[in-house]
Structure 1
Amino acid sequence: MNTESKGTLELTAAMALSGTLGIFVVESGASAFNVVFFRVLFGALALGGYVLARGYFRGHGFTPKKLSLAALGGLFIVFNWVFLFESYENTSISVATVVYHTQPFYVVLLGALFFRERLTAAKAGWIGLAFAGLILVSGVTPADFAGGGGSYLLGVGQALAAALLYGLSTIVTKRITGVRPHLIALVQVLVGIPLLLPFADFGAMSGTGADWGWLIGLGLIHTGLMYVLMYSAYQKLPTTKIAVLAFTYPAVAMVADWAVYGHHIGLVQALGVPLIVLASLKVSLAKSPRTVAGSTPAPAPVASSRR
């Protein structure tokens, strides 16, 4: 098996794992804050063990500035997870995941806003098309804005907020050079432990029982194993293939949501999916006028981010 084929298998596996993340979150029965707290806790143990075993702490490349940027990215990434997981409860895994996959457009817009990266007319057009698709996928109608949408409208907003936070984390983390992405991810999950500790409700976990397995799985599988596979694949694949394979994540998430919970998006909503996919690919594969070396965060697919 050649290097690119191996990378393809690794990234496909990572994105497929990411697509099952929502099942683990819902089945754990825990609140979003508790889920994220234990995800970063168990994820830090998994990533820390891997980094230690590979000897990555030696010559880590961190400076005070780079460490601060990694910590700031961690702040954005952990609260991005909180919003995304809350969105699962108020909408569905399928809708939340597709709405959340507008992350690349936020990265482009934030880059133009904060770093004066050129926003071409073509990119602006694709972003406009993507948000037209977003409106279709969300299923939100004018009546929802008049007060009839309730928690569903809130859930769509939470998924959008999660995507925005992911975009902020990506922008910040792209400014870190000369540091292995595994180490950046480790810092981000370590930062999440004290950040989320005040919000964690340990009393609510007393009757969790066998559901601890879902939380441990989020840390070991969806943070430790998934990140290792993803970062290994990135070193072997061209950008074009990474961008295409990233859509394994929402595809698996939608199938899993239908298979386990019977949720599926309607016909009109389905029309918006190819618009988002096409626009995301066009934006992701467009040549950037300014190339910045570094790594993107991975909460969710890298997006994920990540994811």
Structure 2
Amino acid sequence: MSTSPTPSQQETKGAIELTLAMVLSGTIGIFVVESGASPFNVVFFRCLFGALALGLYCLVRGFFKNHGFTPKKLGLAALGGVFIVFNWAFLFQSYETTSISVATVVYHTQPFYVVLLGALLFKDRLTADKLGWLAVAFVGLVLVAGVSLSDLRSGSAYLTGLGYALLAALFYGFSTVITKRVTGVRPHLVALVQVLLGIPLLLPFADFGEASNLGGGWAWLAGLGLIHTCLMYVLMYSAYQKLPTPKIAVLAFVYPVVAMVCDWAVYGHHVSLLQALGIPLIVAASLGNNLGWRILPRRSTAPAPAELRVPRRTTTAGNNR
């Protein structure tokens, strides 16, 4: 006699799944760098291998039956795919000129682009608290960026890399606000549409001459498709169904922590003390935004003292107006 798992057991399983997904996400930078491929080649082959793996998974699970797509939903998924594919390309480009650590932390300002774009494009309510957390995140971003006066004067490659990370975050924001409008469709199928779209979209940018000389780099590229696109998404979407929003928001920060540890352990990169001061600001701002924390004090709603209250005048039928 089998018993179904309790809500607590389901939540525990979801937490394990999301933690694993975020750990995998934190290793993406190593796979990108070790592949030896250019950013556009990395994204092209990630889409190719990822589409094959995700397509097979969806086929085995029977997701193509009653898929829920309409022409409008398919168009929105494809448009979101344009932004998600170029988001990857810009992020991977940022790795080359900054570091995995800095690029990942700067990229993690993406929730605020989602807030701002939602307000601009869909008239979502932008509260004073959200603006406050946005200001906190901006201060953290300035500290993490660690831009010097010489960088500003010379327009260094490092500064360009920061721009790529911010552009990647912006494109992720566009993809998120668009994809959120695709309802009634399994997220695995939405992701499959997006990586399928990436193949013809990036074909003009792919350098097959470079690809022919990658050697062992092919294993890293295949890993990006099979592990970081198929397996990671399957774990992530499964976890989202089991977890409340607060836990999802907190566990999302496993990703940048793992990325920073990997960058230090493998490449010896580490952030400065000043940059480290900015990281908790971005973390706190992102959590505050996602969890609805108040940054401004509530207005007091306590009743006025009895001696200050104006007595209510009794009303009679004769003086009603």
TM score, norm. by length of structure 2: 0.88
Write out per-residue CA displacement over residues 245-272 of structure 1, whole angstroms, 9 at most, x where no aligned residue: 0000000000000000000000000000
1:1-307 correspondence runs (5 A):
2-147=9-154, 150-286=156-292
Larger radius of gyration: 2
Aligned mates of 1:238, 1:143 — CA distance in 2: 45
Offset of residue 108 of structure 1: 0.2
Distance 1:154 1:97 in 2: 15
CA shift for structure 1 position 209: 1.1
Instruction: Write the letter of the residue equivalent to 1:165.
Output: F
Once the two structures are aligned, what percentage of the paired residues are identical? 74
d(CA) in 2 for partners of 1:141 and 1:179?
Answer: 47
Aligned equivalents of 1:236 and 1:209: distance in 2? Answer: 41
Give, in whole Å, the separation in 1 of the partners of 2:112 and 2:141.
Answer: 12
Letter in 1 for 2:55: G
**Secondary structure of the residue that 2:216 maps to in structure 1?**
helix
One-letter amino acid of the structure 1 residue matched with residue 45 of structure 2: F
Give the residue type in structure 1 aligned to 2:197.
Answer: V
| Secondary structure class of the residue paired with 2:183 | coil
Letter in 1 for 2:82: L
Partner-residue secondary structure (3-state), 2:142: helix
What is the rounded CA distance, in whole Å, between the counterparts of 2:53 and 2:135 in structure 1?
Answer: 40
Deviations 1:23-59 (A, max 9, x none): 0000000000000000000000110010000000000
Aligned residue for 2:69, secondary structure, equals: coil
Residue 206 (structure 1) shift: 1.4
Aligned residues between the structures: 286
CA distance in 1, matches of 2:88, 2:137: 22
TM-score by length of 1: 0.92
| Superposed CA offset, 1:167-187 (max 9, x none) | 000000000110000000000
Amino acid at match of 2:14: G
- CA distance in structure 2 between the partners assigned to 1:68 and 1:132 by the alignment: 37
1:119 aligned partner, one-letter code: L
The residue type equivalent to 2:47 in the other structure is V
Distance 1:277 1:259 in 2: 22
- The alignment's C-alpha RMSD in Å is 0.9
Q: Note the residue ranges of structure 2 that are not aligned, 5 or more in a row.
A: 294-321
Structure 1's consecutive aligned runs of 4 or more residues displaced over 6 angstroms after TM superposition are none
